[in-house]
Amino acid sequence: MNESTFAPGGGQPGTTVGSVAVRTFESRRAETTTETQPAYAMAPFNDDNDLQDGQFYDPDAEYEPDPEYAATLAPDAARQRRERVGPTGRPLPYFPIPNPLTDHGPAKIVAMCNQKGGVGKTTSTINLGAALAEYGRRVLLVDFDPQGALSVGLGVNPMELDITVYNLLMERGLAADEVLLKTAVPGMDLLPSNIDLSAAEVQLVSEVARESTLQRALKPLMADYDYIVIDCQPSLGLLTVNALTAAHSVIVPLECEFFALRGVALLTETIEKVRERLNPELELDGILATMYDSRTVHSREVLARVVEAFDEHVFHTVIGRTVRFPETTVAGEPITTYASNSVGAAAYRQLAREVLARCHAE
């Protein structure tokens, strides 16, 4: 482990990451969950199975300490309660607290992918990962962007790293363990990257089976994790094709802005090609609407268009726009720890439950 370079901002260096802390969390969850529902059960959204802490966007509820951000979701929250619809305009299912796991793996690999930059890929990778880890899942985040934003967002200085995911791809015989970093979030590890990775794109071209290099590199890690989330770079180049080849499913974050859908056709075409030629298992897990502000007609219209285009592929969970997210990047930690009670944290926890519910429903 190259631990020396890892200095999580505001985190707890030296925290024992892994089963001990996770189990503590799980057992606390287990105590508060009266019924053991299967993880895929989607109970109707009614008053009897009322909201638990942090489960839904509900700016009026007592747990809401972030009024500035709550305002961004207010109109929909009122409608949600009245009509029991979510921000996507569809009935909002109930996503139960996932059951604790007794053992871990094999991992489900998810690629966070959109060739457009600034849509929330990195933010979603960190925070979905941290929320899954809170629910007792063992999570590995893979920084697959030479800019290293995921590593920075977790308090790592990529410039100081000698060994990164690049070495794992290019050097046969290098153990993944030597590249792995523990994060301040118990149960969540990181394969960091830095600018070195940009060379891989060129060097891989002459390799045999160049598209499945990442898949081969991740194979020995599959048994140790429940989820591996790959933060893709903003392009549809060879690195992204590697991520799609390694993945079981893709999450596509879409910013609720005017040109959100532009380029998505090209992305779905790429996903389709990878499925046909390289990875028949690959599925579109979902479209994740990000930076949503229900106060603006514009944001609501864009979301309506996205739902029109992708229907049930759009996650019920929608991530609102809040300055809390840029703040977390500076702090070098996920929003689930930086502002644990914020609606932003609640949104990613709900996304984690939705992802788990979808996975179990398959």
Of the pair 167, 290, the CB lying nearest ligand ADP is at 290
**Stretch touching ligand ADP by CB under 6 A, among 6-14, 24-32, 118-126, 201-209:** 118-126
CB crowding 229-258: b at 16 or more within 10 Å, else e: bbbbbbebebbbbbbbbbbbbbbbbbbbbe
> Binding of Mg ion at residue 149 (CB under 5 A)?
yes
Cα–Cα distance, 327 to 341 (Å, whole number): 15
Judged by beta carbon distances under 5 to 8 A according to partner kind, the member of ligand ADP, Mg ion, none in contact with residue 120 is: ligand ADP
CB of 97 to ligand ADP, least distance (A): 23
Binding to ligand ADP (CB under 6 A): which residues in 288-307?
290-291
Assess whether the previous peptide bond of 106 is cis (omega < 30° from 0): yes
Binding to ligand ADP (CB under 6 A): which residues in 125-184?
149
Cα 309 from chain centroid (whole Å): 22
Which of 108, 121, 182, 353 is in the footprint of ligand ADP by CB under 6 A? 121
Q: Applying CB under 6 A, what is the total number of residues that bind ligand ADP? A: 17
Which of 59, 89, 118, 263 is in the footprint of ligand ADP by CB under 6 A? 118
> Binding of Mg ion at residue 116 (CB under 5 A)?
no
Residue with tokens 């394969």: 191
CB of 253 to Mg ion, least distance (A): 10
Residue with tokens 């830095």: 194
Of the pair 321, 353, the CB lying nearest ligand ADP is at 321
CB of 231 to Mg ion, least distance (A): 6
Of the pair 122, 183, the CB lying nearest ligand ADP is at 122
Which of 109, 111, 119, 345 is in the footprint of ligand ADP by CB under 6 A? 119
> Binding of ligand ADP at residue 321 (CB under 6 A)?
yes
Backbone angles phi, psi at 313, to 5 degrees: -75, -15
Both tokens of 39, joined, read 């993880």
Which of 123, 317, 337, 350 is in the footprint of ligand ADP by CB under 6 A? 123
Based on its alpha-carbon atoms, the radius of gyration of the chain, rounded to whole angstroms, reads: 19
**Side by side, which strands form the sheet with 188-191?**
181-182, 188-191, 139-144, 227-232, 108-112, 249-255, 283-290
Quick one: which of 188, 187, 181, 185 has its CA closest to 165? Answer: 181
Of the pair 11, 148, the CB lying nearest Mg ion is at 148
Beta strands in the chain (DSSP E): 108-112, 139-144, 181-182, 188-191, 227-232, 249-255, 283-290
Site residues, Mg ion (CB under 5 A): 121-122, 149
Site residues, ligand ADP (CB under 6 A): 117-123, 149, 234, 290-291, 319, 321-322, 325-326, 329
